[in-house]
Amino acid sequence: MFIGHYGFACMVREKASDIPLWLLFASVQLLDIIAFTLVLLGIEKASYVPSDNPFFRNCLDLPYSHSLSGALIVSVLVFFLFWVLDKKSWAWILGLCTLSHWFIDLIVHTPDLGIFLGSYKVGLGLWNYPILAYILEITMVVTGWLVLKKNNYSFIFIFLMVGAFTGMVFAAEPPFFSEHDALRTSIVLIVNLLFIFLAYLWDLKTISNRIDTGYRDSRHVFKTD
Ligand SMILES: [Zn+2]
């Protein structure tokens, strides 16, 4: 899955408002960030293959980042990082968000997700039905976006995310993209990091609005008293 994970993160944030949105974004997308990094290092593979189905334009071999065993290890590490080092009570939520990536990917991937490293590959294959896969991703991200407070950054976020994903699904792959795997992977990695940064700005603005509103309310209470 590409953008649906972000929608899931927004829904978690609605229930757990203590957790910074950018951390939720980073945790639900961590397995992909690790995958892109390992691909750039030559340890995993994601190479371009021509296909009419936009979801099949990647030949994937991701035994570490996208096996259930790998996902469990990374999720436990995230939990320990925030629980042991930072004493965060919500560390377990971040750990589960990290693990959620694998189970959400399971819905769409064809059997290329290993249970233990590269063996026992699974995937329910919604990507075989690209329009349904597209609708699922857009529904997840728009639903998640709708439940959170909006500001300028949130509108930039949804506009860029839906626009970029729609372009990816319905437009032809630019030749420079299909001919240069490393460039393609780097751009996708940078775009994901930009969305995480946008979540940081979105949150910052929400917090400053809350402080402003609290200040105005307190002045109002003072006057009426
Ligand atoms: Zn993934």
Ligand 1 centre from 112 Cα, in Å?
Answer: 11
Contact in structure between 14 and 143 (CB atoms under 8 Å): no
- Is the per-residue pLDDT at 24 higher than 50? yes
Look up the pTM and report it: 0.89
Query: pLDDT tens for residues 162-185?
Result: 999 999 999 988 887 778 889 999
Residues that place a CB less than 5 A from ion ligand 1: 32, 105
Query: pLDDT tens for residues 73-112?
Result: 999 999 999 999 888 999 999 999 999 999 999 999 999 9
Ligand 1 centre from 12 Cα, in Å?
Answer: 18
How far is it, in rounded angstroms, from Cα 32 to Cα 54?
18
- Is the per-residue pLDDT at 217 higher than 70? no
